[in-house]
Amino acid sequence: MLKRILEHSIVNHPPMTATATSGLARRALLKRAALACGGVALSLLIPSSALGRADATPQPGNQAGAAAKPATELSSKLPGSAQLKDYPFFPFCIDWHDAKKRGYAEQAVMLKELGYEGVGHIFLDGVAERLKTLDDAGLKLFQITMNVDVAPGKKPYDAKFKEVLGLIKGRHVQFCLLLNGMPPSDVAVDPHAVEILREMSDLAQDSGAQLLLYPHQGSWVERIEDSVRLAEKVNRPNMGVMFNLCHWLRVDKQRDYKPLLVQAMPRLWAISICGADEFDAKPGWEHYIQPLDKGSFNVGLLLKTLKDLGYKGPIGLQCYGIGGDAREHLARSLAAWQKLSENLKGTTP
């Protein structure tokens, strides 16, 4: 049953209308979106498998060998697309656990008042409305998360991808790709996935968007190592990777992230952080996704490591599953960020 739900969310969900932020349409959207952030349902769909490394030698492609641009080097004159400063900070997954059930316009006003620079959007529905509300508030759309199915014989991605590329052209949005449909880290799927991702890369080229391979617990691309291996094989200048703290904590029993970040750095174009505890043996995200002022994991040291490695890109705040009034926990996290970000300036908070 869960498999059918996931397949439906990838290829068959209807476009969001102007009233989709309320009633049944909104609840259906939020149910699909929860799969993108929490990973609980996804992790039940596919068994774990042994990890492996494949030859990461770049393969020829239309854009092979072209230099990739870091996220902070992008610029545009369109709304929400100005030259990015170093370490822009934005929340995502803020919709469905907000006790106030704010719509896009209310979210934009709240984020502006709090002092955030923009937001991340989940899935391909509602992008036009999201853009309008962010433009009205003078904020940026940083990312759009979407599903990609790498199972043989399946439709790999929603046809609305092309439509959304037109909407965000010139805004330098990052698409966070959740690659699903096969057992985690199965390198035998690489050739098929490379074909899909090169096709998507070609479609996105004129839009100025970046495509990021998003490691997600239970997905085929589950680890940052999977993202790096695949991005190297795709070998396109608009194809990068993202490091997600909560998913790394869940799937990696080690706590030495530096070698992984060093490996990822040539294409590490975004990371996500949150408050988190060092270890949690229980399922779920209660201890691995918290407001940024909570948890025993040393987020400040992670940020300092990123700075020392030369990372200067966007930093997303993972908010999945955090209940109550979103304004309250977002305000707390922003206050914590203002202290933690001192690690990015070379001083101790």
Give the pLDDT confidence score for residue 349 in this predicted structure.
43
CA distance 263 to 229: 10
**What's the pLDDT band for 345 if we cut at 50, 70, 90?**
confident
* Extents of the domains making up the chain: 2-47+69-344
Model confidence at 96: pLDDT above 90: no
Lowest average pLDDT, out of 1-5, 120-124, 285-289, goes to 1-5
Predicted pLDDT of residue 67:
55
CB atoms within 10 A of CB 237: 16
pLDDT above 60: residue 249:
yes
> Range with the lowest mean pLDDT among 19-23, 136-140, 214-218, 300-304?
19-23
Lowest mean pLDDT among 7-11, 96-100, 180-184: 7-11
Measured between alpha carbons, how far is 341 from 343 in angstroms, rounded to an integer? 5
pLDDT at 112 over 70: yes
Greatest Cα pair distance in the chain: 52
Give the pLDDT confidence score for residue 14 in this predicted structure.
34
Residue 346: per-residue pLDDT? 58
Q: How many H-runs (helices) and E-runs (strands) does the chain carry?
A: 12, 8
Between 213 and 49, where is the model more confident? 213
At 177, list the tokens: 């790709």
Query: Model's pTM, two decimal places?
Result: 0.80
pLDDT (0 to 100) of residue 162: 98
Assess contact for 281 and 242: CB atoms under 8 A: no
CATH pick for 2-47+69-344 out of 2.60.34.10, 3.90.550.10, 3.20.20.150, 1.20.140.10: 3.20.20.150
**Given pLDDT bands bounded at 50, 70 and 90, which one contains residue 86?**
very high
